[in-house]
């Protein structure tokens, strides 16, 4: 019985690894992976005029360059063609952005969830 359970466990593990390996975000690096510098400019509303943040893209997922030192949450994805969608939040405040990346730069628009502020963003690849 123990041998049968081990064999079944191994098969289940193998099946999960096969599924994960077939998932593009797990199996393949994205051409956009790396460290980026993102400049956020407010065009409308009472939000601060500008922000600059380092962001890391790994396997097509957008996140913090250094998660341990951040006071906000950033999540997003970059599609294979460069279309990017991102959400940023801190406490009750949040904003969403969308745009497009090339292999070395990007641009798009953002808006707070409340609609109070909106603007543009640009990005430059740093590494």
Q: Which residues pair with 87 in a beta bridge?
A: 75, 96
Q: Which CATH number fits domain 31-125: 2.40.160.40, 2.40.128.120, 3.20.20.70, 1.10.10.10?
A: 2.40.128.120
| Encoded tokens for 32 | 């956009």
Which residues make Cβ contacts (< 8 Å) with residue 75, sequence separation at least 6? 61, 62, 63, 86, 87
- Domain spans of the chain? 1-28, 31-125
Predicted confidence pLDDT, tens digits, the chain (127 residues): 444 445 444 444 444 444 444 445 444 789 999 999 999 999 999 999 998 989 999 999 999 888 777 788 999 999 999 999 999 998 899 999 999 999 999 999 999 999 999 999 999 999 7
What is the model's pTM?
Answer: 0.74
């Amino acid at each position: 019985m123990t041998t049968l359970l081990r064999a079944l466990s191994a098969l289940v593990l193998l099946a999960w690894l096969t599924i994960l390996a077939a998932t593009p975000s797990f199996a393949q690096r994205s051409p956009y992976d790396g460290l980026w510098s993102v400049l956020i400019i407010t065009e409308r509303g009472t939000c601060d005029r500008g922000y600059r943040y380092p962001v890391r893209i790994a396997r097509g997922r957008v996140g913090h360059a250094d998660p341990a030192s951040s006071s906000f949450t950033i999540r997003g994805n970059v599609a294979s063609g460069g279309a990017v969608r991102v959400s940023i939040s801190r406490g009750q405040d949040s904003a969403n952005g969308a745009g497009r990346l090339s292999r070395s730069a990007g641009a798009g628009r953002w808006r707070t969830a409340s609609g109070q502020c909106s603007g543009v963003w640009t990005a430059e690849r740093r590494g």
